[in-house]
Structure 1
Amino acid sequence: MIRMLIADDDPIVRHALPAYFESISDISVADTAPDGHLALESLKNNDINLILSDLRMPSMDGLTLLKRVRELSENICFVAMTSYDSDTAMIEVLRAGASGYILKDASPEKMVTAVRDAYSGGTALSPSCVSRLVQLSMAGRKQVSMESLSPTDYSILSLLSSGMSNRQIASELHYAESTIKNRVSHLIKKFQVDSRIKLALLFHGHV
């Protein structure tokens, strides 16, 4: 079960999103908060495993909240949402350890998909975001050869880069989920990155 905290200074969002998620059986909105400080307080009192947070909030913004959450735990997924899309915001959020980045004008269905993908280990990014991040993050970076990859690892990396979770990749390639998890960890070390998203960026930069 996904136990979610929604952090947003807009009271309409704090009312509308929980109302929508009520109809989703595998997602429970445990609490809402109008800023980062109160979101951190909520983490002390609720069993939260995913935060859906606006980036622009008073008192403590979403990026600062993410960094504070990462100091407390690596196990809480964090999906950033914003009305003010920018390359700088995307890069900062993903480098800080977010599991996804979505626009606030996304449909409720897409928000549900983003939350599920992030929680299951996938990448909650739209194709347009991936394309922009590739252009920005690969500029001036030394290229890493993928010729040494086995056919299986190449397939895993390709599916991971399309946004699939370990479970989905395992089902597609007919492997145990634990095997896929181990191979992904190996690939992260091999290419000297620190997240699945950055691994996906490397792959897209070579395709």
Structure 2
Amino acid sequence: MSRIRILLADDHPVVRAGLVGLLSSQPDFEVVGEAANGQEALRAVEQLLPQVVLMDLRMPVMDGVSAIRQIRSRFPQVQILVLTTYDTDSDIVRAVEAGATGYLLKDVPREELFRAVRLCARGEAVLSPPVAARLLGRMRGPAEENLSLRELEVLALVARGLSNKEIARKLKISEATVKTHLLHTFSKLGVDDRTAAVTVALERGILRL
């Protein structure tokens, strides 16, 4: 029987050790390597060519989303299953857009994890029920979350304390355009000013400092 070759990428040694023990209980799984950050994961994929990478999102040196993007562009045959404690809309969407095949939360039952690894190895998308619900809610939800990339860029610069004039200069657009983007953002978030926009965006996970 050919076994599914798995690489673990997580910055917590205890988590990795637990996953090794868990996955090794399955006769069709083989854990071929471990990585403590995204950069190590990328190097390990080059050397070991696993079928499935179990990837955490928040890691030092290179985060999970950056690692997913690089692995998928260089090794499109490698499937990536996100296994994380983070379930904000922005985390989920960024991981899926980067090329993750699946997205599970760390409190997932072991049988569901095993099933997800097997499905991912076949290239089938897997989302744990809470994650699927979040994504569906986002797709069906009001426009408040659907800020354009430019609106997000402007808001991120507002969060860093830049004035409209400085933002205009940095993004090479007019001040009037900056104001227009901010007005659209205020409308979508249901707020009246810059501070409230940043606060709400941070609370909802749309923006991260």
Q: Quick check: TM above 0.5?
A: yes
Q: Whole-Å Cα distance in 1 between the matches of residues 49 and 125 of structure 2?
A: 23
Provide the residue aligned with 1:177 in structure 2: none
Secondary structure of 2:126's counterpart equals coil
Q: Whole-Å Cα distance in 1 between the matches of residues 141 and 108 of structure 2?
A: 28
Secondary structure of 1:92's counterpart equals helix
Matches within 5 A, 1:44-63: 44-63=46-65
Matches within 5 A, 1:16-35: 16-35=18-37
Please, what TM-score do these two structures have when normalized by structure 2? 0.63
Structure 1 unaligned blocks of 5 or more: 142-207
Q: Whole-Å Cα distance in 2 between the matches of residues 37 and 121 of structure 1?
A: 23
Provide the residue aligned with 2:136 in structure 1: 134
Provide the residue aligned with 2:67 in structure 1: 65
- Aligned residue identity for 2:44: S
Q: Whole-Å Cα distance in 2 between the matches of residues 66 and 3 of structure 1?
A: 17
Provide the residue aligned with 1:167 in structure 2: none
Q: Whole-Å Cα distance in 2 between the matches of residues 14 and 130 of structure 1?
A: 25
Judge conservation of contact 2:87–2:131 (CA < 8 Å) in 1. Answer: no
Judge conservation of contact 2:11–2:59 (CA < 8 Å) in 1. Answer: yes
Alignment root-mean-square deviation, CA = 1.7
Q: Whole-Å Cα distance in 2 between the matches of residues 69 and 9 of structure 1?
A: 18
| Paired residue total | 141
Q: Whole-Å Cα distance in 1 between the matches of residues 31 and 67 of structure 2?
A: 18
Structure 2 unaligned blocks of 5 or more: 144-209
Percent identical: 35
Q: Whole-Å Cα distance in 1 between the matches of residues 116 and 26 of structure 2?
A: 13
Please, what TM-score do these two structures have when normalized by structure 1? 0.64
Residues 115-152 of structure 1, C-alpha deviations (whole Å, 9 max, x = no match): 112122332112332222122134579xxxxxxxxxxx
Q: Whole-Å Cα distance in 2 between the matches of residues 84 and 140 of structure 1?
A: 22
Judge conservation of contact 2:45–2:71 (CA < 8 Å) in 1. Answer: no
1:6 aligns with 2:5: no
